[in-house]
Structure 1
Amino acid sequence: MLTIKEIADMANVSRTTVSRVLNDSGYVSIKARERVLKVIEETGYVPSQHAKSLRTKKSKVIGVVIPKLGTETSGRLVNGMNEVFSQYGYQILLTSSNLAPQKEIEYLSLLKSRQVDGIILTATNVSDQLIAGIRQLRMPFVAVGQNIPGVSNVVYDDLNAAKIMTRLLIERGRKNIAFIGVPESDQAVGVLRKQGFLDSMKEHCLNIRKEWIIESDFSISSGYSAMERIMERVVGGVIPDGVFCVTDRIAIGAIQHLKETGLKVPQQISITGIGASDLSKYVEPPLTTMDYENEKAGQEAAKILLAQIERNEDFQKTVILNGRLIRRDSL
């Protein structure tokens, strides 16, 4: 493998000139640059990334922590990030917490030890321990999905999205509306979407039945079980005529249970979700949902992180993304 000194000798320039051409930094005359580029082209020289990182103090690697591998949301987020990072010569080192909050904290330290230039975290919850772990990083950092104090964030307008989805049910004439959520340790999905549901119900002076507010996890099977529990709590023959589910997968499970019990969606019970998963358009009936455009979220996170890296500044910026309503037949 050729060295910078050999390239310099062949181009009849100094090693400093070759370095400036390779790193696109500092002044180099047009003729000298042309000679260096000609030698590089003729020899097929590829600079060592390790050597380059030692000179620039940049690894050109970004650490990314996602909740789970193989999910549509994570895939779209990472695709959006990669679209931006690849334009600037950065690569992604991907890790998955598998929905374990403690793993998120562990991976932050691990990625820093791998000398990544920055980290993007799709957090599952916001805890004091996580905030402390982020502060200890002292490096470019962006959180996606959860609003974490003291750092840059790319978040969705979960409160308003939940209000919209609940309002759709109300406008459809539904008055006895059930809610299937997730644990409130998840601030965005567990707290804000629940609050949006409650706010819409109160704004329209509708009765909130606490026995029909059920907590599940993010799986289709948990949505099925949650809908089953709601129906078991029906008293006096009054059944829900609408159900707001905080995710599409929960909604799909709820629809399946209703179909198996002979109840018709949407004729008897309308269902809405959030997420615009691929499955949401294939379930019968197709699900009314909110598309959060995760690719855009990934792109925004990447742009903020790159700005921190390139400017070498510890600034904070929050981007709030609005969803896109998709009306389908479950309403």
Structure 2
Amino acid sequence: MSKTIADIAKIAGVAKSTVSRYLNGGSVSEATKKKIENVIKETGYIPNTFAQSLKAKKPNIIGTIIPRLDSYAASQTLIGIDEQLRELNYQMLISNSSQDLEREIENIYSLARQKVAGVILLATQITNAHLEAFEKVQIPILLVGQQHKTVHSMIHNDYDAAFEMGKYVLAKGHRRIAFLGVSEKDIAVGVKRKEGFKQAILEANETEVKFYETSFKIEDALAITPAIIDEFKPSIIVCATDNIALGVMKAAYLKGVRIPNDLSITGFGGYEITEIIHPSLTTAKFYYQDAGRMAAQSMLKLINGEEIKSLIVSKYKIIDRESVDNLLKYKL
């Protein structure tokens, strides 16, 4: 049977309130502190951090809302948040919205009722209902992955990464290009990546580009790709995410289209699997764990009333791998 605070107090020979004060970081004499620590170590007692947080004047729980549990970007970001919070003696409480906006907004209110110190929202879009919730809960909010002018935000550099990807594609000699993106309801992935890529392509001559839309799911990209290949016959398909690129690669394989000999493919994200598949995928790598750590640090500054930038931008890098053919070599 697990030990309680009352058990620890009895074994240590101190009052229950003294143990509670120790666990909440209150003032306890050095001798008493060592006595309690020894008992906790001997009994293997694990404090109920959440319960402590509810009772404490300053809660140490950070709520984190994610759009889906099977997202590589979300899971890697959570790892970064969790590691940084642990180092700073905070805990993370995760709520999953399953890409349901109503559920996401309810999660904001639910976390506030549970007295979290702040909420980190890995957002896909920000609606008026979101802004109303932020205003009502009256706790620090940090957006990750999307930005809004009235809310502290941390984004990946989607526009610049897409612009650089466009320049990379052109430098490889590709002029018949398909861009497979997602709904523009998602500002970061659906709008910024498309806009950055468009701007890079505008500066090239004799280039034909067609824009297509799918979802974030591999199977949906797999379903739409055969028509793109048959009807447009691009030399390259630039995909808005690595998952979309994986769907395109599978579709190409099923059609007997060789990568990169017949069709080049790129992605965005830098998922681990893109390095070990064959051919390996050229992609714009985002550093999700680093972004998570930055988000945790920024949230704690907000909680402590410190000034932070209204917009924080994380880094990226174009990773050149095997999935893109250099068409210029055939012109030599």
| TM-score of Structure 1 vs Structure 2, range by shorter chain | 0.7 to 0.9
In the TM superposition, what is the alpha-carbon distance from 1:132 to its structure 2 partner? Answer: 2.3
> Which position in structure 2 is the counterpart of 1:38?
34
Gaps of 5+ in 1: 27-31
C-alpha distance in 1, partners of 2:248/2:6?
Answer: 67
Tell me, yes or no, if structure 1 residue 112 matches structure 2 residue 112.
Answer: yes
Higher mean displacement: 197-206 or 180-189: 197-206
Deviation at 1:267, TM superposition (A): 1.8
- Cα pair 1:165 1:273 within 8 Å, conserved: no
CA contact (8 A) 1:155 1:319 kept: yes
- Let me know the Cα RMSD of the aligned residues: 3.1
Question: What secondary structure, in the 3-state scheme, does the structure 2 residue paired with 1:304 have?
Answer: helix
Contact 1:156–1:322 under 8 Å retained in 2: yes
Q: Cα distance, 1:87 vs. partner? A: 1.7
Measured against aligned partners, the alpha-carbon deviations of 1:101-147 in whole angstroms (never above 9, x if no partner) come to 22211111111111111111001112222222222221011110001
Task: Mark the CA change 1:42 to 1:268 in structure 2 (over 3 Å): closer, same or farther.
Answer: closer
| Structure 1 residues 239-263: Cα deviation after superposition (integer angstroms, max 9, x where no partner) | 2111110001111111222222232
User: In 2, Cα distance between the equivalents of 1:255 and 1:147?
Assistant: 31
Q: 2-side partners of 1:50 and 1:241: how far apart?
A: 55
The residue aligned with 2:330 is none
1:328 pairs, out of 303, 321, 328, with 321
The whole-number CA distance in structure 1 between the counterparts of 2:204 and 2:219 is: 31
- Which of 264, 274, 294 is the matching residue for 2:268? 274
Distance 2:59 2:31 in 1: 28
Aligned length: 319
Cα distance, 1:292 vs structure 2 = 0.7
Q: In structure 2, what is the Cα distance between the partners aligned to 1:179 and 1:313? A: 42
| Conserved? CA contact 2:286–2:316, under 8 Å | yes
Does the CA-based 8 Å contact 2:218-2:243 persist in structure 1? Answer: yes
TM-score scaled to structure 1, two decimals? 0.85
- 1:204–1:121: structure 2 CA closer, same or farther, 3 Å change rule? same
1:248 aligns with 2:246: no
Q: Per-residue deviation at 1:272? A: 0.7
Which residue in the other structure is 2:98 paired with?
Answer: 98
Partner of 1:83: 83
Are 1:21 and 1:36, in contact at CA under 8 Å, matched by a contact in 2? no
